[in-house]
Amino acid sequence: MAKISVIGAGSWGTALALLLSNNGNDVTVWSILESEIEMLSKEREHKDKLPGVKLPESMKFTTDLKEAIEGKEVLVLAVPSPYTRSTSKSMSPYVAEGQIIVNVAKGVEETTLMTLSEIIEEEIPQAEVAVLSGPSHAEEVGRGIPTTIVVGTRKKKTAEYLQNLFMNDVFRVYTSPDVLGIELGGALKNVVALAAGIADGLGYGDNTKAALITRGITEIGRLGIAMGAKAETFSGLTGIGDLIVTCASMHSRNRRAGILIGKGYTMEEAMKEVKMVVEGVYSAKAAMGLAEKYHVQLPIIEQVNEVLFKNKPASEAVKELMLRDKKIEIFQDWEE
């Protein structure tokens, strides 16, 4: 049994806390919101974000960050990506040398173009940082629906330790050393999911969705490989796997926001309606910053940015994608 704290009591943090508790661990959940901690302690259920998912009496809840961190073998950082830096900065004084932090949010910081693990390492240099990602909606993990994800670390020993900690008969965990590829796949698929939602909102069909998924993973892989990630990561769980589930499911806040934008909502109106952090909005500009830095083309992600931040009509963005210069899909020599 390990002592674990989940930092962040949103839907994903709560679902992972339940999973880890069911695996026999001593679990504490932290939130900055006193009202959230009071609700969880009293109701043993996150009424707003995971209704119907009951939490065990053994699970502890706190707003005291020092209490949540000190003496724990593993910290699961589950705050939305825009709050990763500020939360990490607050955590740093209490984190011991070598303490493991598993980041489970997805995003790239717009101002610095840093991945979330890079942010955590900068703010908490004494920690050992890992990432957990893959096609995994909190609503399904909380109900024990079979799910498969991947944990990324730089040390094999840490990867295997975390694999054993999280894995059970409904939650299968793979390991990978490609932390960068895992994070890029997880962050940028949210931007493509916005595009998929926009297409749904415009009334387009399965052909359009399939095109966005397949060309979207090509864009993500193109950027990732240019940055030094492994090509095979993008055909795995945090590449095509996460992209499929996020583009296809109504659990996806990015797809839901995209649907509203396709129906004519502004980006701000769509985010307000979804009532959760739409992380693809925050990663979209960062993706274009990375594209410029590494000299790669991301036409779908570029058009998403135009729609989100420059008030470009969604239908015009789709038309522009369809009328781009003719391209070759597979580069190899032709027969004469």
Which residues are designated catalytic?
189
Q: Which of 233, 234, 260, 258 is nearest to 248 (CA)?
A: 258
Beta-ladder partners of 77: 7, 103
Q: What is the DSSP letter of 35?
A: H
Q: What is the DSSP letter of 266?
A: -
Burial state string for 4-35 with b = 16 or more CB within 10 A and e = fewer than 16? bbbbbbbbbbbbbbbbbbebebbbbbbbbeee
Cα gap 263→198, rounded to integer Å = 8
Cβ atoms of residues 165 and 148 within 8 Å: no
Q: Which of 86, 107, 79, 64 is nearest to 16 (CA)?
A: 79
Beta-ladder partners of 150: 133, 174
- Any alpha helices (H) in the chain, and if so which ranges? 11-22, 34-43, 65-69, 84-91, 116-123, 138-141, 156-166, 179-201, 206-227, 242-248, 253-262, 267-274, 279-294, 299-309, 314-322
